[in-house]
Structure 1
Amino acid sequence: MKIKRSKSLSPEPSSSRDIKRIKLEEIANLNRSTSLHILEFSDDVLLNILKYLYPQDLMAISLCCQRFAQLTQDRTLWRRADFRTKPIYLEDLNQYMKFLQPITMSLAMRGNLISREHSSLTQRFFNNVKTLCDQLKELIIEEYYINGDKIHITDFPCTIEKLSLEGCKMNYLQSNKSYFFKMDLHMPNLTCLILSNCEWFTPHSLLVISKIPKLKELRLNSCHRLGECVAYASLATRFGFKTLEILDLRDTALGDSEVGCFSSTKTLTHLYLECPSTWRNDESPEVIQHRQQQALRLPIFEDGNLAQFLVEDGFSFENYGFQRCLISDRAICALGSDICEREGVNSFLAPQRRIIILREDIREDRREARRISNNPNLKTLVVRNYPRVTNSSLIHLALNASRLEYLDVTGTSVTRDGVESFKSQKNNVKIVSSFDET
């Protein structure tokens, strides 16, 4: 006798066709509901998207519709206006003036020196910037022409804390007065000044710049006229630069005397030095090593007990040649601190120069010695491609640069053993050299 099995009362499995059909319909409806047009987003969402765009993109979007035209003028989008994605001519730049706001804190732009007519800034431009951005803190102007006889430093906004004229060309005919005259009074809050690749910069401007009361960062790399006269550097560093922390002197024709002047800046923490590229070549390593050995045999006016310092008076730069822009151990050993007594023992006149001979009396009892402390806070030192910098600099820095954290001696005449010895004494300092594995 067969017994019929009753139907199960348990529910059907969740994979049934009906439920699958319901879920597919729900997903389809959900997809249709999420297909929104960009204009359906709220203003807050759109502003959050627009803040990642460059000013040129905001200008293009403003032409799409009335709503985008209003949104792109929101002041929160123009706190920092950076136009450097591509060169922008002055007439195009004037179109963006309507977007600048009193809240604009940073304005950056880059011109094109190929077209002088379209890359010459006018006094009207500076007047508009001062009027529209009365709280401007950062002004970056790169690769523009500036007529220094018509546009004075007092035409720049007085509120800025960072000013960059990198790569700009300037016409300035007044040789008896620096272009930066009264800059220390006009920009009392300036903390950063960048004059990289400004061929028109002359050394006597250092006197005015050194008076800026809050200046912390000064970049003069590729200012090739900087080494024309040591007297201005000496006066500027002796009486000014009271707050300077970062100094970039790469690719300048400075020698030991000028660097020695800057070494007296007590607040300096970062110093960048590099031999000008025009004084380097692509010769074979053997030829370069031979040239370095020859350079090392040149007198650097220093030994264990005597030191001679040149007092330069009215030299032309050409008379110095290659030796003139070679920084040596003498400049590096002026950094940090030392214990000695120096006494002038003789001075005499030689053709075209006066030499002062100083005697250094190293005392056994250090309590009686005078400590000469230069750059006690130096943390970063870059000195690249100078063949007259040798292991003597490493020995001095290991003993006297107590706060040093980073050292770059690439392209100098230091040896592998000298680098290893420095590492063993200063294992907390990161040192970069030509012997690093690539």
Structure 2
Amino acid sequence: MFQAGIPNYRSSDPYYYQYFVCHMCKRKMKVKRSKSLSPEPSSSNEYKRPRIANSGDSDNDYLECRLLNLSDDVLLNIMKFLHPQDLMALSLCCQRLEQVTRDRTLWSNCVDFRTAPTLLEDLEKYVKFFRPMTTRLRIRGNLQSNKHRGLSQSFFSAIRATCQLKELTMEEYDIDADKIQITDFPKMIEKLSLKGCRMHHLQTDKSYFFRMDFHMPNLTCLILSKCNWFYPHSLMVISKMVKLKELRLDSCYRLGECVAYASLATRFGFKSLEILDLRDTGLGDSEICCFSSTKTLTHLYLECPRSPRPVYCYEHDPRPYRPPQQHSTDPRLRVFEDQNILELLIDERRIVPYFDFERCLVSDRAICALGSYVCDRTILNNIQDMIFVEVDRRVVNNPNLKELVVRNYPRVTNQSLVHLAANAPSLEYLDVTGTTVTREGVEMFKSQKPGVTILSSFDET
């Protein structure tokens, strides 16, 4: 009745007309669907690989999917996982990829270049990708390479004009203080990190951070880790930052004996400071006692330097180290007056900062200054055989202290544990690894403060 799928014409067959109409309708619907301009439910057919019916089909039936065959949306989803250096390389391939890599979604929020050292020339090329939505910029250089040059004024001008930065992280770059001043940085940043940066041509009559409190009123976090050029007198300026909550000065080797600066800075400034990192510095009991007057402090990190580090006048001074000699005060040294505080700055080319290793050892005296304590009662009146004394007056220095790290100080003993157990009501974490506290002292502290996590040299590894 039928041959090769085509019905044989038989007018006398009653089912022939019904079958013929159904067959023609199916063919018309198939042609109509193929010519339709409406999109497919999933994606366009031109980007789909044909299905291989049998595993034994030849390779000629396989359509290779190339990068440029993907849609822009798919390319953007892939590029979100790439580093900025990779995006720059893709932008140089062709015009289409260059347009896709400029999409604002790839350069919004946080842009982190720290996966590899970035040359200044590359940074200036990346500026064209930045958008006003770029709020966090993180870059890293390489001080050991001769190819890396210091940051330029044009780079700072470009990011100020293009981005609305709230975080700027610059690590291991050379900064010329004659060309780049603190007022050249973006004004509205809330977090600034100069970790490991090297500063040249510092002025001797004022701090590099002079008037920083007026230029960056929203700054809440300042990281100066491994900044060997940081001098103690800069504490005066930094303490005026009204919103500053986090200050990290770990491994600032020039930060040694500075009782005068620390006392004034903590008495009149640091009104909002919560996190203070002073690890691997030359500060001693006197300086730590000054910081104990900071009532808003919640996290304090202290760690003894591994060894006394001589600091040269210049970072690459080939001459061998010689211990500093005592110099008499030279009346020719310049001074300047900042409101009501007179600062005497020592010329860094004359005296090599060097701290005494014995003096920088923190002891129980500094730890017992933290928390709250009872002041000595004073005699109010003495009438014949009757003595009137003042009632106990409890002074709270750091009522909000939650985390304390005191590592590798041999002069910290069980006395500090006894004091903290009684006078640190908000303490949650304590690290006394490397100190001379005993196992009995640690057990006593745990029994009195069961809610505090304590780390010591007696912990099982």
Q: CA offset at residue 323 of structure 1?
A: 2.1
Identify unmatched segments of 5+ residues in structure 2. Answer: 1-50, 310-343, 380-387
The Cα shift of 1:60 comes to 1.2
Unaligned runs of 5+ in 1: 1-22, 281-312, 345-364
Q: CA deviation at 1:49?
A: 1.8
Alpha carbons 2:168, 2:189 under 8 Å: kept:
yes
Q: Which residue in the other structure is 1:115 paired with?
A: 145
Which of residues 114, 127, 143 is equivalent to 2:157? Answer: 127
Q: 1:66 corresponds to which letter in structure 2?
A: Q
How far apart are the structure 2 equivalents of 1:386 and 1:233? 21
Change (3 A) 1:151 1:25: closer
**Residues of 1 paired with 2:419 and 2:131: CA distance?**
53
Percent sequence identity is: 67
Q: 2:436 aligns with which of 413, 420, 423?
A: 413
Aligned length: 362
Shift of 1:428: 0.7
Q: Secondary structure at the match of 1:141?
A: strand
TM-score (norm. length: structure 1): 0.77
- What does residue 385 of structure 2 align with? none
**For residue 47 of structure 1, what is the amino acid of its counterpart?**
L
Do residues 434 (structure 1) and 443 (structure 2) align?
no
Give the drift of 1:117.
Answer: 6.0
Shift of 1:192: 0.5
Q: Distance in 2 between matches of 1:106 and 1:314?
A: 35
2:364 aligns with 329
Question: What is the alpha-carbon distance in structure 1 between the residues aligned to residue 80 and residue 192 of structure 2?
Answer: 24
Question: Could you tell me which residue of structure 1 aligns to residue 75 of structure 2?
Answer: 46
Q: What is the Cα deviation at residue 33 of structure 1?
A: 9.5
Amino acid at match of 2:361: L
Structure 2 counterparts to residues 353-368 of structure 1, below 5 A? 368=391
Mark the CA change 1:261 to 1:25 in structure 2 (over 3 Å): closer, same or farther. Answer: same
Contact 2:377 / 2:391 at 8 angstroms: preserved in 1?
no
How far apart, in 2, do the equivalents of 1:243 and 1:319 lie? 31
3-state SS in 1 of match to 2:256: helix
Map 1:53-132 → 2, pairs under 5 A? 53-79=82-108, 80-115=110-145, 118-132=148-162
**Aligned counterpart, 1:218:** 247
Do the aligned partners of residues 169 and 54 (structure 1) sit closer, same or farther apart at CA in structure 2, a change above 3 Å counting?
A: same
1:222-261 equivalent positions in 2, closer than 5 A? 222-261=251-290
CA distance in 1, matches of 2:52, 2:396: 79
Alignment of 1:5-404 (within 5 A): 25=53, 36-79=65-108, 80-115=110-145, 118-133=148-163, 135-279=164-308, 321-341=356-376, 368-404=391-427
Secondary structure of the corresponding residue to residue 357 of structure 2: helix
- The structural deviation recorded for 1:28 is 9.8
Q: For the Cα contact (< 8 Å) 2:256–2:355, is it kept in 1?
A: no
Distance 1:53 1:60 in 2: 11
Residue 24 of structure 2: aligned partner: none
Letter in 2 for 1:143: E
Whose helix fraction is larger, Structure 1's or Structure 2's? Answer: 1
Query: Does structure 2 retain, via aligned residues, the 8 Å contact 1:180–1:205?
Result: yes
| Cα shift readout 1:133-183 (whole Å, capped 9, x = no counterpart) | 1x1111111111101122110000101111000001101342121110010
Q: Could you give the per-residue CA deviations for residues 45-90 of structure 1, whole angstroms, max 9, x where no partner exists?
A: 3212211111001111112222211111111111221111111111
CA distance in 1, matches of 2:193, 2:395: 35
**C-alpha distance after superposition, 1:175-201 (max 9, x if no partner):** 121110010000001110000000100
| SS state at 2:75 partner | helix
Aligned to 1:293: none
Check the 8 A contact 1:339/1:366 in 2, yes or no: no
Residue of structure 2 in register with 1:308 after alignment: none
Contact 2:137 2:168 (8 Å CA) reproduced: yes
